[in-house]
Amino acid sequence: MVVRLQPYNQDLIDEFRRKFFENYPSGNDAFDPRDIERVKKYDKYLYNILIISKSDVDVALGKLEKILTWRKENEINDLTWDSFSDEAKNVGPIYCRGHSKDNCRILWFRVKHSKKGNPEAKRFISFWLEKLQWEDFDNPVVVMQDFTGAGVSNMDLDVIKHLIGCLELYFPALCDMLYIFEMPWILNAIWKVIEKLLSEQSKAHLRFIKSKDVMNYFDADQLPVYMGGTDTYEWSYPPPEQFRDTEDDEEDEENGNNAEEEKMHSLLEFEGSVQEEQGDSENVAGTSGQNSVPSRSMEDGDALKAKENLPLKEENGVSIKKVHFADESQGGKENTDPSRSPTKKVKRKTAPAITKKQKTKEMHVGPLITIRPGESLVFRPSGNKNNPKELRSLLSLSNTTDGKVAFKIKTTSPDKYRVRPSAGQINPEASVGVEILFLGGESGQIVQDKFLVLSTEFGEETAKSTGDLVEFWRKVSRSTVVEHRLKCVNETPPEALIGNHDILKELQQLSKKVTATEKSREEKLIQMNRNLLIIVFMQFVLLCLVVYIYFTSSSTQVIQQSCIADH
């Protein structure tokens, strides 16, 4: 689990890597070669292991050896959807959806769908954690272990031990918090045993919550209806395209759309006059070295995961399985300038991306920058009490080159949107988070709007003001500009549900009462039917008894009369 203690330390990471390869100069048969390549290339992976080792390199070496051995023994790199039965895929006891208030991805573990002794359960947990780990190093997860409707038959101690082992060691610093939701009292004894397996650090990342507490950690639109939320999603297989391990390698369908491009307006120029009046300097990115999307504040020290300048992509043939998730939003990451000099010519690290763009719904990999989401901007309520109709979408731009890249965002309706930052520079291997606000109006018209993301090599220049950026874009050659279009999608929940969580809870309570009343009525009806059958049976017995007495008394009278007649 995540233990945020030390800052990012490149020297410590280099020492960690050096000592590891001193111990295993030619690798080890107990390790998967693909994992060895990741140790060579990915600083953030080693950094996460140092986190759980409290910056002790010797301890980290021991943990890394255990992790690599476990990964090969369990064939983690080879797990795919095809590794599991149809039952496991269709039931969906584990899936990823939504974000917590701290912008951590949510991994749902629906305990009621998991049966004790299921041999696939532990591998399914490993499969999802592996996907989430390599999908985004900088975005941790929270695990929601949902006990709603679960009983003793669903509680598998081996599976829980496996989950804890994965979160504590095998997927280092991936999990920010493990939430236990509505655990039945009958399972308390089992959890007391499990808690003994946890270190004191891990216990701090374990939280038991009830229905009344869940809104403290998650927004309503991220929770299912039975938890008091508004999300009606139910897992089904095959999953939506954004969950699949596929990449669309077709050429963009943007060629020939010049007529549409003419309708685009530069937000940089549109907002320039506003900035001059308001003194707003937030629309220039990269000039200060720090860029982030305005978001909910977190407790001190809780933002460490979003503060490293690390590559999040494939390098030199290292195969990383990726799965892209619905409702993914990228927070801003520090746009730090690497220590190396950027005087050399910009080099693209993935040559195929220069001639052929890779695109999925959640990510578009271009020759200069990676854009998330890659196809559609999804607008949802921003939570602004002063403007309930305000909608918000997040966009992440990542520089995948060795030089600075300039970006600019245009839209067909600049008067309806506020984009921060709408233009700027991105340092090598850094990312910029962009917040797009729909300021109000007819939300149904959002689908008619489009955004255009422009990017080009920035060279050695540095933009110190909005005016510098405007001047740069006026002089830049059109042939050097890379363009990518984004559609707009409105996923606003029904207006009656927005901001009326108390009403929704009341409806849930009423629904429970109605269900309980209906169940009680059915039980009483069954009891009445039983009583009726008993009454009918008793009446039948009584009738038989009356008939028997009648005929018995009649025959006795006949015999007596015969005897009297004989005498």
Query: How high is the pLDDT of residue 515?
Result: 75
Helix then strand then coil, % of the chain, to nearest 5: 40, 20, 40
Does the predicted TM-score (pTM) go above 0.85? no
Length, in residues, of the chain: 567
List per-residue pLDDT tens for the chain, 567 residues long: 554 445 668 889 999 999 999 888 776 788 999 999 989 988 889 998 998 888 899 999 999 999 999 999 999 999 988 888 888 888 878 988 889 998 899 999 998 888 888 888 899 999 999 999 888 777 889 999 998 888 878 888 888 888 988 988 899 989 989 999 988 877 777 777 777 767 777 788 888 999 898 999 999 999 999 998 998 888 877 665 434 433 333 334 444 444 444 455 555 555 444 444 444 444 444 433 334 333 333 333 333 333 333 333 343 444 444 333 333 333 333 344 433 333 344 444 443 333 334 444 678 888 999 999 988 898 888 766 667 677 889 999 999 888 889 999 999 888 888 898 888 888 888 888 898 988 776 767 788 888 999 999 987 777 667 777 888 888 888 889 999 999 888 876 544 344 445 555 665 666 677 778 778 888 888 999 999 999 999 999 999 988 888 888 766 666 667 666 666
- In the chain, DSSP finds a helix count (H) and a strand count (E) of 14, 18
In Å, how far are 150, 387, 417, 436 from 283, measured between CA atoms?
49, 21, 13, 11
Q: Which residues pair with 365 in a beta bridge?
A: 358, 370
What are the structure tokens assigned to 425, written together? 């520079």
* Integer-rounded Cα radius of gyration of the chain: 32
Q: Which residues pair with 558 in a beta bridge?
A: none
Query: How high is the pLDDT of residue 190?
Result: 72
Helices (H), 82-144: 86-91, 121-135
Helices (H), 24-98: 33-41, 43-52, 57-73, 86-91
C-beta separation of 118 from 156 below 8 A: yes
Rounded-to-10 torsion of CA 44, 204, 162, 212: -110
C-beta separation of 144 from 96 below 8 A: no
Q: Beta strand pairing status for 423-426 and 284-285?
A: parallel
C-beta separation of 114 from 121 below 8 A: yes
